[in-house]
Structure 1
Amino acid sequence: MRLAALFLAAATAVVTALPAQAQLSVSEISRYLNSFRTAQAAFTQVNADGTISTGDLMISRPGRARFDYDPPNRGLVIAGGSQVAIFDPVSNTAPEQYPLSQTPLNLILREQVNLGSSGMVVRHGGDATQTAITLQDPQNPQYGNIELVFTPSPTTLRQWKITDDSGQQTTVILGDMRTGVGLGTAPFNIPVEMRRRGVGN
């Protein structure tokens, strides 16, 4: 399944190894992720093949995200209605769709993020400048994992790296993220987007 290419990849520099002592605790990271339901940011994505894309991201928890890619890509990925849909900008065919529950991004799009769940945290480390935490679905580790990178004071999500079920990695680096923004539900409605594009069910 091409889940790595679905979601983003970030700048050419992947997070370097961090000291064992974490600056931000698991409970603080959980608190931060639960402190907002909507967010918007520009992003830079580094794909598994080394190519780089840019675009705009919208998040609306629970279960919704939208990645609009800039030209020349012009791609679109929507998570909504428990599905992930990949729209091809040059095709009039229906988008490829996958269950959101089978992607690591699902872990941070839940109604309530609880990183204290047994088996969810795979790695956790940091220093005074940044903290990295790697998560997986403890019931379905075969779906891959997501590494999140945060900076402190105030706690802010800066990037993530998804390793999908085939081992491919995609990194997404976020620009300044605005939280608590009004987004509505229409941007995350896959059937509405299909009708707008005139593609089949």
Structure 2
Amino acid sequence: MGYPEPVVFVVDDDDSVRIALARLIRSAGYRVEVFASAGEFLATASLAACPSCLVLDVQLPDIDGLQLQRELDGACPIIFITGYGDISMTVHAMKAGASDFLPKPVRDAELLGSIELALERARQLYAMRCERDALCCRFDRLTPREREVMALISEGRLNKQIAGKLGTVEQTIKVHRARVMTKMEVTSVAELVHILDRIDMLSAAENRQFR
């Protein structure tokens, strides 16, 4: 499956730094978008539209880079750059899921290497989100009663047992069961259980990605 072209976001309040970083990143063949503040970035950037990473200055005029990292809450990998960093700040950022923490002036090869690794992580996250969203879309088609029936099917219950549990007749359960299988796009209970497990796994994996 093909994915949209990745983008590198740059947030730095220094005009000359933004221009230099944008030029470098474009020269390596990446699409880049630049912002002068965290507020501008939050108001404009679309993190869900494609795989992306963020090259982020720690010292910013509105909210600082570490606070922005907290607000993004793992939405994309972050490469911090700063001329004022210390060990404590670096450790804090990395524990919070930063992809890298680089001192200014940033060496071109080091930054591009970090971007390549960050975008690879971003592609993995994007792929997981796309798969999870597609599977959740199937789940969302189900009525509340069909979800109850599906949960019992996934436990290995027979139609007669499900009917007794839900206080209805076996024929009604057969109808619900058929609709569940159709809406979830599966042909067996094993496939159904696999999809439910996959949704849980993808959600958990995304939550762990950059935290």
Normalising by the residue count of structure 2, what TM-score does the alignment of the two structures yield? 0.26
Higher strand proportion (structure 1 or 2): 1
Higher helix share: 2
Select the structure of larger CA radius of gyration: 2
